[in-house]
Amino acid sequence: GNSVTQMEGPVTLSEEAFLTINCTYTATGYPSLFWYVQYPGEGLQLLLKATKADDKGSNKGFEATYRKETTSFHLEKGSVQVSDSAVYFCALSERQTGANNLFFGTGTRLTVIP
Amino acid sequence: NAGVTQTPKFQVLKTGQSMTLQCAQDMNHNSMYWYRQDPGMGLRLIYYSASEGTTDKGEVPNGYNVSRLNKREFSLRLESAAPSQTSVYFCASKGLAGENEQFFGPGTRLTVL
């Protein structure tokens, strides 16, 4: 079946620190992989995605590389800001007829302190 | 272009009461979804509608019903609310079958006493 295992939080970092949030997945086929971000009181927003092996998704200074050999999609940012404080969700979607359902990890709460 | 909208934002129910959560999207998307978000469990799919006129169960459908009223609207109904249904509910939509990005609404926080 499909599942996503995500680094447990919460994570607290100082501003300008390096961020890594680990994500590994199990899938029966060739999934697309996503990172979604949820700011306080809001819905989820797509942060970045990768649709095939070795693709790198990037947005707002965040990056993640689709690693098929390690079934991983770790999120990184070189220098976090206070405004990056949010909950981050790793997710996968398998190509199938119809809805392409998303499978989510449990989320990692990031707090960045000045 | 409002994207995905949900009503209400907050709701408190007593055990056994019923209610309907409303969701609408103005992006002409084919697929729509209902998720619940619980602490430590991420988002879990309740029901989805791959296209207008079809609905299917997700991971946790028990205690819920859905209606795809038209292409824009997808409602979630709790016929007899239980405390275990206390959660934050998110609606999402997605465009063409070949695309896989989902767009989320702001959520409904439901408390069942």
Query: How many angstroms separate the CA of residue B85 from the nearest CA in chain A?
Result: 18
User: Contact A29/A14 with Cβ under 8 angstroms?
Assistant: no
Token pair listed for B50 = 């791959």
Query: How many angstroms separate the CA of residue B51 from the nearest CA in chain A?
Result: 8
Give per-residue pLDDT as tens, B4-48.
999 999 999 999 999 999 999 999 999 999 999 998 788 999 999
A-B CB pairs within 8 A amount to 64
Report the share of chain B in percent with pLDDT over 90.
80
Q: What are phi and psi of A63, to 5 degrees?
A: -140, 155
The pLDDT tens digits along chain A (114 residues) read: 788 999 888 999 999 999 999 999 998 878 899 999 999 888 899 999 998 899 999 999 999 999 999 999 999 999 999 999 999 999 998 765 455 678 899 999 999 999
Which chain A positions have a beta carbon within 8 Å of B42's beta carbon?
Answer: 4, 6, 89, 104-107
Instruction: Indicate the residue of A36, A46, A99 with minimum beta-carbon distance to B50.
Output: A99
- Most A CBs within 10 Å: which of B10, B34, B52, B100, as the mutation test of the A interface? B100
Token pair listed for B20 = 């309907």
Calpha distance B12→B37 (Å, rounded): 16
